[in-house]
Structure 1
Amino acid sequence: MGEFELIRNFFAAAPCAQGGEGVALGIGDDCALLAVASGEQLAISTDTLVAGVHFADPCDPYLLGQRSLAVAVSDLAAMGATPLAFTLALTLPTVSADWLQAYARGLNAMAQSCDVRLIGGDTTRGSLTLTLTVFGRVPAGLALTRSGARVGDLLCVGGELGNAAGALPLVLGQRSADATIAAPLLAHYWSPQPQLALGQALRGKATSALDISDGLLADCGHIAAASKVALQVEVEKLPLSPALLSFLGEQGARAAALSGGDDYVLAFTLPPAELAPLLAAGWPVQVVGQVVAGQGVTLLDAGGQDITPGTRGYQHFAETP
């Protein structure tokens, strides 16, 4: 099967590739064309997932299709952007019609859930690698960034932490668990739900934001550095799911929440006056700490003592002993 036949058979005909609002020209030409209204800015982000590094190989291609797009779209949520479109660069060791069909179905399911359109990409031969670039729109001047946190702000997250990291032993076949425990953890790993609506609700309210991909402590370090402030995380306030606590115990669950990564939940700083209206509106805001003067990220116990661990989160190019 040739490159163009592969694209035509498995991707160009998918419902998510049929264009829509903001897509002036989709698959078929050398470039796609996006239309952004006056007064809006284009938000762009690229994610690469490599077999054996970002996901187990082999794995269910349908679940991989969902996950690969969700983690990319989550970056749009972190900026408060509304999704428009995405491209897919797919590197395959071999061409398997069954694998491609299942992957395309998972990709399409997540694309329709996020209301984002496939507008192009590329295919080539090599080690299994997925590169997705997402495009979104945001009102000019209202994009959420990492650089606006202020002393006195609350440090918040958009929901439970650690579930995806907790699922990793299940994904790798290292442990098993009852379905009532395994199912919610695995769902968070394979089908994370980008917090697009929350990101848009935070425009003009949150002073900084990002999505948690490498662990709460590591990612909050990006906010601290960009904003030139210090963040304090209170260990007793971490939102942990019953499934995670049952599977890993309290100590293991806290470690997964702090440095496990793959949550794709928003972390953001918020002026205290903005908290009550967001909670009253039903948004899943959990306060986990505060912004103070200084630099870096500190983990505090119930007595306010520094218990910051040496391992903050995942780093791709960290040297190993």
Structure 2
Amino acid sequence: MTETDFIAALRALAADPAARGLADDAAVLTFGGETLVLTHDVLVEGVHVLPGSDPADIAWKLVAVNLSDLAAKGAEPVGILLGHMLGEGDARFLEGLRAVLDAYDVPLLGGDTVKGGAQRSWGVTALGRATHVPVPSRRGAQLGDGVFVTGTLGAAMLGHDALASVGEADTAAYLRPLPLLAEGRALAPLVTAMMDVSDGLLLDAWRLGTASAVTLDLDSASIPVADMARRDECLRWGDDYQLLFTAPAGSTLPVAASRIGSVVALEHGPLRLDGRLLSSDDRLGYTHG
């Protein structure tokens, strides 16, 4: 089964409203007087991190990508649960884990450790508290909204290539991404839809348009990229962890962001780029097959 097929099959098991149809960055659960936001991501050696990576960087990235999902919901982190495969460099992993937890004032609440094969993997479940209700989702984009993105796309791609000895670039965006928690909380009361950019801007815009049953009409020249000569790759590579969101036209945004398009009526597909309707066959971003 492809990743898309498997997730589609899982939806039959995820009938609770908190799961949001498995079509969002996180689950949202009302519990007592709180609205909780829960997410889980896994990193695999050789897939999400380069073989031989500093375990301290792996620990940072593992926590950061999960906190980025909380940021897309405007949530305040409550804590994490860690799944760790024991192996070489565990002391360095602990150093990186302490650094990222201290940087974002997030407690470690528990988890599990295992011993496995040569190819290692690590997982984190992040728990957050919603700061605004309703919690932003991918479903709310409205006709006439602007489409916005924070930051610059493609910096992680350039960092990855530099580490793989293909060119020179700052590697921080790839090794130690910075989840936009404060920006997500500031945007939560304003946005109509929001998600983080993890698998490539075009693929994630496709997902947001699909969830909202609209077409996102994007202008590539308006999208800030780290390398103009590789603009197309910057839009598809992923690992950026910027925030992609829609908001009413004319809104005064509380964070720095670029308007990259508009929300229009659904027209044979959820994404249009420079006037051309894109399809799922266009290799929009990163998928696991």
Structure-2-length-normalised TM-score = 0.83
* Alignment match, 1:314: 286
Map 1:215-230 onto structure 2 (within 5 A): 215-230=200-215
AA aligned opposite 1:78: A
Deviation readout 1:50-83 (Å, 9 max, x if unpaired): 1111111111111111111111110000011001
Map 1:185-264 onto structure 2 (within 5 A): 186-240=171-225, 244-245=226-227, 250-252=228-230, 254-264=231-241
Is the Cα–Cα contact under 8 Å of residues 271 and 277 in structure 2 kept in the other structure?
no
Listed as ranges, the gaps of 5+ residues in structure 1 are 1-35
* Alignment match, 2:36: 42
For residue 288 of structure 1, the aligned residue among 260, 275, 281 is: 260
Is the Cα–Cα contact under 8 Å of residues 151 and 291 in structure 1 kept in the other structure?
yes
Identity %: 35
Secondary structure at the counterpart of residue 157 of structure 2: helix
For residue 61 of structure 2, the aligned residue among 42, 51, 67 is: 67
- Give the deviation of 1:172 after TM superposition: 2.0
Matched residues in 2 for 1:257 and 1:287: separation? 17
Listed as ranges, the gaps of 5+ residues in structure 2 are 1-29
Is the Cα–Cα contact under 8 Å of residues 83 and 122 in structure 2 kept in the other structure?
yes
For residue 144 of structure 1, the aligned residue among 136, 142, 145 is: 136
1:118 and 2:88 correspond: no
Matched residues in 2 for 1:172 and 1:307: separation? 34
Deviation readout 1:179-206 (Å, 9 max, x if unpaired): xxx22xx111111110111111112210
1:299 and 2:273 correspond: yes
Flag the 1:307–1:166 CA change in 2: closer, same or farther, 3 A.
farther
Is the Cα–Cα contact under 8 Å of residues 163 and 256 in structure 1 kept in the other structure?
no
Is the Cα–Cα contact under 8 Å of residues 131 and 185 in structure 2 kept in the other structure?
no
Is the Cα–Cα contact under 8 Å of residues 166 and 256 in structure 1 kept in the other structure?
no
* Alignment match, 1:168: 160
* Alignment match, 1:12: none
Flag the 1:139–1:168 CA change in 2: closer, same or farther, 3 A.
closer
Secondary structure at the counterpart of residue 63 of structure 2: helix
Matched residues in 2 for 1:172 and 1:84: separation? 35
Structure-1-length-normalised TM-score = 0.75
Matched residues in 2 for 1:256 and 1:104: separation? 34
- Give the deviation of 1:42 after TM superposition: 0.7
Map 1:75-154 onto structure 2 (within 5 A): 75-92=69-86, 94=87, 96=88, 99-126=89-116, 127-139=119-131, 141-154=133-146
Matched residues in 2 for 1:307 and 1:162: separation? 22
- Give the deviation of 1:160 after TM superposition: 0.8
Is the Cα–Cα contact under 8 Å of residues 61 and 103 in structure 1 kept in the other structure?
yes
Is the Cα–Cα contact under 8 Å of residues 132 and 189 in structure 2 kept in the other structure?
no
Matched residues in 2 for 1:314 and 1:152: separation? 29
Matched residues in 2 for 1:211 and 1:196: separation? 11
Matched residues in 1 for 2:162 and 2:42: separation? 23
Matched residues in 2 for 1:79 and 1:57: separation? 32
AA aligned opposite 1:297: L
- Give the deviation of 1:256 after TM superposition: 2.9
Matched residues in 1 for 2:32 and 2:186: separation? 21
Secondary structure at the counterpart of residue 142 of structure 1: coil
Flag the 1:60–1:166 CA change in 2: closer, same or farther, 3 A.
same
Is the Cα–Cα contact under 8 Å of residues 40 and 140 in structure 1 kept in the other structure?
no
- Give the deviation of 1:141 after TM superposition: 2.6
Is the Cα–Cα contact under 8 Å of residues 132 and 188 in structure 2 kept in the other structure?
no
